[in-house]
Chain A
Amino acid sequence: MTDAVSAGPRRVGAQGATRKSLLVADARTRRRNAAETRFKAYGIVAIAIAMLALVFLLFTIVRDGSGAFRQTFIDVPVTIDAAIVDPKGNRDQKDMAGVLTMSYGSMLEKSLETWVAQNNVQIEGLGKADYASFYSSQARATLRDMVLENPEIIGTTINVPALASSRVDGMFKGRVTAESAEIDARTSLAQFRLAEAMEEKGALTTRFNWDFVTQPDASDNRAEAAGLGVAIIGSAYMMLIVLVLALPIGVAASIYLEEFAPKNRLTDIIEVNISNLAAVPSIVFGILGLAAFINFMGLPRSAPIVGGLVLTLMTLPTIIISTRAALKAVPPSIRDAALGVGASKMQTVFHHVLPLAMPGVLTGTIIGLAQALGETAPLLLIGMVAFVTAYPSAPPEGLFEPASALPVQVYNWTQRADSAFFERASGAIIVLLAFLFAMNLVAIILRRRFERRW
């Protein structure tokens, strides 16, 4: 022993682990410590990669999509020409309704021409086509609605902010530059210069645009007017249906399976199949929905009820699995105590076990709902990827009327030719992410507030 001590720490490794000093790490300890440091580094790198990907994703979406929340409006007085809007001159509502929106364009063009003349703006090559494509065609529809609702304005000059076309709007968002305007068939350099001149004189303003969130979708000709109103209502209706159907069914199924059902082969098979169902690709639920709800049950296409039912099927397994996990996490002592003081099995479950499991159940439900909210594939086949411009009415009738949904609106817009729709698709993603974020936040708050620890 004494020999070994006098041999010093250098020989410890060779002679065995019993003689090492606590203060000097031997080779094996150093290796183990190094392995731990390395592992920590791997972990940090992994998190850094994940965070980078997330930051990149959010950055590009916000960069591309934030423009959708702002819109360019033209503040030029418009004279309502009686000869155009009321060619018969009798102020008859029916005759005036016979004048189509396309005819209203010339009034807007004329008002712009007047503005240019009055403000003494000189732009080389400014022609009729530049005036015509300056306004959004939505502006004509707005004007026509105003005239029909309020015929007194005929013959007067009114001051109403009108939507600018998507190309003019793009000039203030960096989408359209002087170079691109020159080679673009839909706009021109003269139009670009006119927009600059108008902005300088305050006739063109870009401001926050609630219409993007409230208005319905618009056709390919008017990207500037497209909004998410119908899609948000459609998604909300579907979530309502999923909540009302999937929560009671899912909770009932899991309580029965967890607390009452005997453990035998049949319940094993059911259990395995519920897990399988959770892994079924969502498009399969769409095919099922088309066959069962539309073709067999005769429910209407493009309606939130069908979307809601399909998403219910998709969400059920998620809710059942998370509810069962929450029920399992309630300690058996609670059940024993309740049964011990004479409660029936049902009283035990509903008075003691379920309330304690509720935070887990609600978290599972909200996460299931959030998943359903972002789901596109099952909606493709049941007609939800549609162009719908009318708001559905209030439930229950509204559940059977055509509507769109947030994720399919994104899908829809990315396929359109005008690059302004790309901006709007990114804007729609921001709205969708905001909803998902809010839902997940609620799930976290519920869990924090009601969770009990033993």
Chain B
Amino acid sequence: MNMKITASALAIAALSATAASARDNVQIAGSSTVLPYATIAAEAFAENTDFAAPVVEGGGSSAGLKQFCSGVGENGIDIATASRPIKDIEVAECQKNGVTDIMEVRLGYDGIVFASSNTGGDFVLTPSDVFNALAAEVVVDGKVVANPHTSWKDVNAELPDQPILAFIPGTKHGTREVFEEKVLIQGCKDTAAHDALVAAKGEDEGEAACKAVRADGKSVDIDGDYTETLARLGSSPEGVGVFGLSFYEQNTDKLKVATMSGVTPSTESIASGEYPVSRPLFFYVKKQHVGTIPGLKEFAAFFVSDAVAGQGGPLATYGLVPDPKLADTQAAVEAETVMAAK
């Protein structure tokens, strides 16, 4: 039958093609925060060089690093992007699977902002306010009690009289860790709740209680991405959402940003370190693929070049906070410096 001949011809062609074709494009996967930056860099790389266009996938920092560490060879990805530094346990996993030479590249910084619908009141927040509004247990009159606050006004008289409703990133997001560390735990310490909680529950439990958010529906975990948070704010305009700075800047026609400790988030205030809630963004290059995958090193260098990741470059236009020490990073990529073994 004709159809059978076609089928077997295809199968043969398939086998011969696998044998013949070597991958000529860089493959990237990882953080959904870094994804837009990686796509912008990949697009610019493809149109400015003769190398094949890199393929970029999202999926999350942890998923990307897991794939990255699964082994060396053409079927694995070449670059993992991450919105947090690689963990020791992940490095160990990499080592076990033969991914021994990893280049860590910091491409810039990302701010995390609180924003509300621009129809509501103005928020002038501090980590303490956020902690008092969202923590599971707070200290009132020296006693540890379940969070009694229902309006932002209860927390701080200067805040608008709006019911507390916050949309925060779910636990699978890298953003959540930064939110816990730089806002909740900071606020916990600032309000002296930290000592009270540690005194009441012991060292470890007290630490954990600092970052435990209330579960009575006033703080909502968003497991999707920022578009979902934005949609939630659209349906409940009295809420406050946590966003990446770049996402907020794309949607300033719908959102109003909150100041944190008196500082308005912007690429400038984050670069200078004034705005407290920010984090570095990374990508990790499998050095063992440099040389076998064409354009891998060139792409890494292009990604952190001044024209791309520097001041006024396309990544900064999108909302990346350029790294003041970009030159060091560029030198490290040029020298193919690998991470020290742990």
| Chain A residues, Cβ within 8 Å of B32 | 415
Q: Pick from A49-57, A116-124, A263-271, A416-424 the stretch touching chain B.
A: A416-424
CB pair B39–A415 under 8 Å, yes or no, is no
Q: Are A400 and B7 in contact (CB under 8 A)?
A: no
Chain B hits for A186, CB < 8 A? 249-250, 252
Q: Cβ of B250: which chain A residues have Cβ within 8 Å of it?
A: 186, 417-419
Question: Is B43's CB under 8 angstroms from A219's CB?
Answer: yes
A144: chain B residues at CB < 8 Å are 47-48
Closest to A415 in B: B225
Q: What CA separation (Å) do A270 and B153 show in the bound complex?
A: 66
Selected interface stretch from A2-10, A200-208, A300-308, A433-441: A300-308
Quick one: given A180-B253, A389-B53, A415-B227, are A298 and B18 in contact (CB under 8 Å)? yes
**What is the CB-to-nearest-CB distance from B256 to chain A, in angstroms, rounded to a whole number?**
9
What's the Cα separation between A407 and B317 when bound, in Å?
29
Docked CA distance A414–B23 (Å): 29
Within 8 A of B (CB), among A347-390: 383, 385-390
- Complex CA–CA separation, A380 to B1 (angstroms): 35
Q: How many residues of B contact A (CB 8 A)?
A: 54
Residues of A within 8 A of B7 (CB): 244-245, 248
For the complex, give the distance between the alpha carbons of A141 and B29 in Å.
Answer: 25
Q: What 0/1 pattern do residues 404 to 435 of A give for CB contact below 8 A with B?
A: 00000000001111110000000000000000
A221 near B: Cβ within 8 Å? yes
Chain A contacts for B1, CB-based, 8 A: 248
Q: What is the bound-complex CA distance between A185 and B44, given in angstroms?
A: 23
- Asked whether any CB of chain A lies closer than 8 Å to the CB of B123, the reply is no
CB–CB B58/A385 < 8 A? yes
**B residues 205-260 touching A (CB-CB < 8 Å):** 225-227, 246-247, 249-253
A229 within 8 A of B: no
Q: How far is the CB of A299 from chain B (nearest CB, A)?
A: 7
Pick from B9-17, B89-97, B164-172 the stretch touching chain A.
B9-17
Asked if B77 is at the interface (CB within 8 A of a chain A CB), the reply is yes
In the assembled complex, the Cα of A80 lies from the Cα of B317 at a distance in Å of 24
Known: A300-B74, A385-B57, A396-B13. A221 touches B318 (CB 8 A): yes
B228 and chain A: residue at smallest CB distance = A415
B53 contacts A397, C-beta separation under 8 Å: no
Complex contacts, B340 vs chain A, CB 8 Å: none
Q: Once the chains are docked, how many angstroms separate the CA of A361 from the CA of B43?
A: 44
Query: Quick check: is A14 within 8 A (CB to CB) of the other chain?
Result: no
Are B307 and A400 neighbours in the complex by a CB distance under 8 Å? no
Q: Could you give, for residues 277-319 of chain B, a 1 whenever the CB lies within 8 Å of some chain A CB and a 0 otherwise?
A: 0000000000000000000000000000001100001100110
Q: Looking at the assembled complex, report how far the CB atom of B174 sits from the nearest CB atom of chain A, in whole angstroms.
A: 16
Partner among B23, B39, B52, B251 whose Cβ is within 8 Å of the Cβ of A387: B39
Question: What's the tally of chain A residues with a CB closer than 8 Å to chain B?
Answer: 52
Is A92 an interface residue when CB atoms closer than 8 A count as contact? no
Q: Which residue of A lies closest to B25 (CB)?
A: A402
Q: A143-161 vs B: 1/0 string, CB under 8 Å?
A: 0110000000000000000
Given contacts A248-B4, A418-B250, A386 and B36 within 8 Å (CB-CB): no
Whether A221 pairs with B74 at a CB distance below 8 angstroms is no
A101 close to B47 (CB less than 8 A): yes
Asked if residues A219 and B226 are in contact (CB atoms below 8 Å), the reply is: no
When the two chains form the complex, which single residue of B10, B43, B55, B249 contacts A185, counting CB atoms closer than 8 Å?
B249
> How many Å from the CB of A250 to the closest CB on chain B?
12
Chain B, residues 114-154, CB within 8 Å of chain A (1/0): the string is 00001000000000000000000000000000000000000
Interface residue? A218 (CB, 8 A): yes
Convert B16-40 into 0s and 1s, putting 1 for each residue whose CB lies closer than 8 angstroms to a CB of A: 0110010101010100100110111
Residue ID in chain B nearest A420 by CB atoms = B250
Per the bound structure, the CA–CA distance linking A389 and B52 in Å amounts to 9
Which of A222, A397, A402 is within 8 Å of B55, CB to CB? A402
Bound: A299/B14 CA distance, A = 10
Chain B residues contacting A383 (CB-CB under 8 Å) are 27, 29, 55, 57
25 pairs from A and B in contact (CB 8 Å cutoff):
A101-B47, A102-B313, A144-B48, A176-B253, A180-B253, A183-B118, A183-B252, A184-B252, A184-B253, A219-B39, A222-B43, A244-B6, A301-B55, A301-B77, A305-B14, A383-B55, A388-B55, A390-B25, A390-B53, A397-B17, A400-B21, A402-B25, A402-B55, A417-B246, A419-B251
Question: Given contacts A300-B74, A383-B27, could you give 17 more A-B pairs where the C-beta distance is less than 8 Å?
Answer: A97-B48, A101-B47, A102-B307, A144-B47, A183-B252, A220-B39, A221-B36, A221-B43, A244-B6, A245-B10, A248-B1, A299-B75, A300-B23, A300-B75, A385-B59, A400-B17, A417-B226
| Interface, chain A (partner B; CB < 8 A) | 97, 100-102, 137, 141, 144-145, 176, 180-181, 183-186, 218-222, 241, 244-245, 247-248, 294-295, 298-302, 305, 383, 385-390, 395-397, 399-400, 402, 414-419
Which 8 A/B pairs are nearest by Cβ-Cβ distance?
A220-B36, A396-B13, A417-B250, A184-B253, A387-B56, A180-B253, A219-B39, A185-B252
Query: Which residues of B approach A to under 8 Å, CB–CB?
Result: 1, 3-4, 6-7, 10, 13-14, 17-18, 21, 23, 25, 27, 29, 32, 35-36, 38-40, 42-44, 46-48, 52-53, 55-59, 74-75, 77, 118, 225-227, 246-247, 249-253, 307-308, 313-314, 317-318
